[in-house]
Structure 1
Amino acid sequence: MPVQDPVIAEQTPAADHTIDQCWDRYSPEEHGVWDTLYKRQMKVLQGRAAPEHFKGLELLNLNEGGIPDFRRMNEKLEKLTGWTVVAVHGLIPNDVFFDHLANRRFVAGRFIRDADKLDYLPEPDIFHDVFGHVPLLTQPVFADYMQAYGKGGAKAEKHGMIENLTRLYWYTVEFGLINTPEGQRIYGAGIVSSQSESVFALEGRSPNRVHFDLERVMRTDYRYDDFQQTYFVINSYEELMEATAGQDFDPIYTRLKGQNDFKASDIVDGDKVYTQGTQEYAKAGGLAKGAKWV
């Protein structure tokens, strides 16, 4: 739990781990952090983020200034795709997370990072969750993909394959790239909400950029504490939906149990490689050692 937020500390979460956003309790300083992050990201994302992200920001009026009020935002979002955003006290159990997604509820943290730590994020905050994730929930195909992912959680738990399903979320919803007529663009929230990774993911010479393949992704380890060593690229959200929602995952999980995982830096037989990265950033120690990557 983010102890710096007394509004969270004083609430008892509901059975589904939700809390009241208490929008009127945000301070002017907290609204100011949102505005600073928003303006900064809008500059760096020009020519880098997928057009659907900008469209979603516009549809939800997330540029009005200050931290969005979920009640107002949900009125628009629910009319568009049937989704709503609910506040939670912090990280929640897998089964609760999957149930929310399966019922078209996206969980978001209430707290926002400190003004003197704009690039430090011990766990996802409201800027990552709302600015990064919610705009694409205005797009019907991607909204359906997110619900299908949530519905798949129970089967993954039954097979003991949560880690493999997590990798699918990580390399698409959080750190995915998409091909567009103007070139590769970012749609993953973990990149979209990060000033430095927005540049690294598209322009850094260090990471691999490989076309999306479901089982390849589900066998690939990832970096949870630094920039990614490989990014997977889709041609469209329809491709992502068709590759996952229409699948019977039982035989997939059976196959995966008999195969070795890939390292985050691997290029493997069958990959459609857009960029084979140098991996120099990771080899030099990454963020912890101030490695250079462009």
Structure 2
Amino acid sequence: MLQETISTDQPVGRWQDYVVPQCWEAFTDDDHAVWDLLFARQIELLGSRVVSPFLDGIDLLKLSHPGVPDVEGLNAILTPRTGWTTVAVPGLVPDEIFFAMLGERVFPVGNFIRRREQLDYLEAPDCFHDMFGHIPMLAHHDYAEMAEHIGRLGVAAIAAGEGHRAARLYWHSVEFGLAREAGELKILGAGLASSFGESHLSLESDAVERLPFSVERAVNTPYKHDAFQPRYLVSESLERTIAEVLALTPEELLNL
């Protein structure tokens, strides 16, 4: 998902073909304990270092309840609020499928959780990354609209053979974006919100670049999908990120 090289050589079918039952009852006691451990330490770490709508979403969706959340419970709250629905998938889905899902306000959630020895880093997104990192922000109405718009941009870009443009925009905003709030540097992206190590790095390290966010810079800035990022794009505010992305048309995206 969202790697720098996007291929459309093979047909990928419909996004519905990638959906599987979550099988919540198959999560073990240790799986639930891993979720609780990850949740507790990440909430403590983030404190006020994440944009406030993220914490509002955590409360609204009752994600502090013990154990791995079930998608039906999440959807019972999320769907009436912003029209988004979570669905379970067995792992990474092709970018064509991922963007098609976003364009219909559907977010894929891994039906597995990392092991204890993988607490600090996991290349493939598990249910903690997806549910803790992404879903809280989808309860924010304007952000929910932005995420859908990126999905539609992605579908159009891939059809034009330029899927990497939308992938980079998504990466530098939804996944690893930073934003200022009340004058302070805050985490915006889900990849940062759900990562113990990289959340520290993005805000505190002198070894990374922090550049002003713009959609043009995002589209033209490569990224690493399998390692901590060497640079982060910082928006003036969450609202500014949302406004800039929503103003972008598919035609403009292809010409940046």
TM-score of the two chains, using structure 1 as the length reference? 0.79
Unaligned segments of structure 1, at least 5 residues = 1-12, 257-294
Residue 261 of structure 1 corresponds to none
Between the two structures, name the one with larger relative contact order (CA 8 Å, sep ≥ 6): 2
Q: Is contact 1:16–1:96 with CA below 8 Å preserved after alignment?
A: no
Matches within 5 A, 1:5-84: 15-84=16-85
Residue 202 of structure 1 corresponds to 203
Counterpart secondary structure, 2:107: strand
Q: Does 1:124 align with 2:125?
A: yes
Bigger radius of gyration: 1
Residue 133 of structure 1 corresponds to 134
Residue 246 of structure 1 deviates from its aligned partner by: 2.4
Q: Could you report, residue by residue, the CA deviation over 1:256-284 in whole angstroms, capped at 9, with x for unpaired residues?
A: 4xxxxxxxxxxxxxxxxxxxxxxxxxxxx
Letter in 1 for 2:202: A
Q: Is contact 1:85–1:106 with CA below 8 Å preserved after alignment?
A: yes
Q: List structure 1 runs of 4+ shifted beyond 3 angstroms.
A: none
Question: Matches of 1:111 and 1:195 in 2, distance apart?
Answer: 19
Q: Could you report, residue by residue, the CA deviation over 1:66-95 in whole angstroms, capped at 9, with x for unpaired residues?
A: 000111111001121111110011111222
Residue 124 of structure 1 deviates from its aligned partner by: 0.4
Residue 213 of structure 2 corresponds to 212
Question: Matches of 2:82 and 2:17 in 1, distance apart?
Answer: 22
Residue 159 of structure 1 deviates from its aligned partner by: 2.1
Q: Could you report, residue by residue, the CA deviation over 1:148-175 in whole angstroms, capped at 9, with x for unpaired residues?
A: 0111122101221111211111111110
Range with bigger deviation, 39-48 or 243-252: 243-252
TM-score of the two chains, using structure 2 as the length reference? 0.90
Unaligned segments of structure 2, at least 5 residues = 1-13
Residue 16 of structure 1 deviates from its aligned partner by: 2.8
Residue 174 of structure 1 corresponds to 175
Range with bigger deviation, 33-42 or 235-244: 235-244
Matches within 5 A, 1:279-294: none
Residue 15 of structure 1 deviates from its aligned partner by: 4.4
Counterpart secondary structure, 2:66: coil
Q: Give the total of aligned pairs.
A: 243
Question: Matches of 1:151 and 1:14 in 2, distance apart?
Answer: 14
Q: Is contact 2:178–2:233 with CA below 8 Å preserved after alignment?
A: yes
1:252–1:15 Cα change, 3 Å: closer
Residue 33 of structure 1 deviates from its aligned partner by: 0.4
Counterpart secondary structure, 2:229: coil
Q: Could you report, residue by residue, the CA deviation over 1:107-152 in whole angstroms, capped at 9, with x for unpaired residues?
A: 1101000112212313000000100000000000100000001111
Counterpart secondary structure, 1:201: helix
Residue 241 of structure 1 deviates from its aligned partner by: 2.7
Residue 158 of structure 1 corresponds to 159
The structure with the greater share of residues assigned to helix is 2
Residue 10 of structure 1 corresponds to none
Residue 233 of structure 1 corresponds to 234
Q: Is contact 1:191–1:197 with CA below 8 Å preserved after alignment?
A: yes
RMSD of Structure 2 on Structure 1 (CA): 1.6
Counterpart secondary structure, 1:152: helix
Question: Matches of 2:104 and 2:216 in 1, distance apart?
Answer: 26
Range with bigger deviation, 239-248 or 109-118: 239-248
Q: Is contact 1:132–1:190 with CA below 8 Å preserved after alignment?
A: yes
Matches within 5 A, 1:82-93: 82-93=83-94
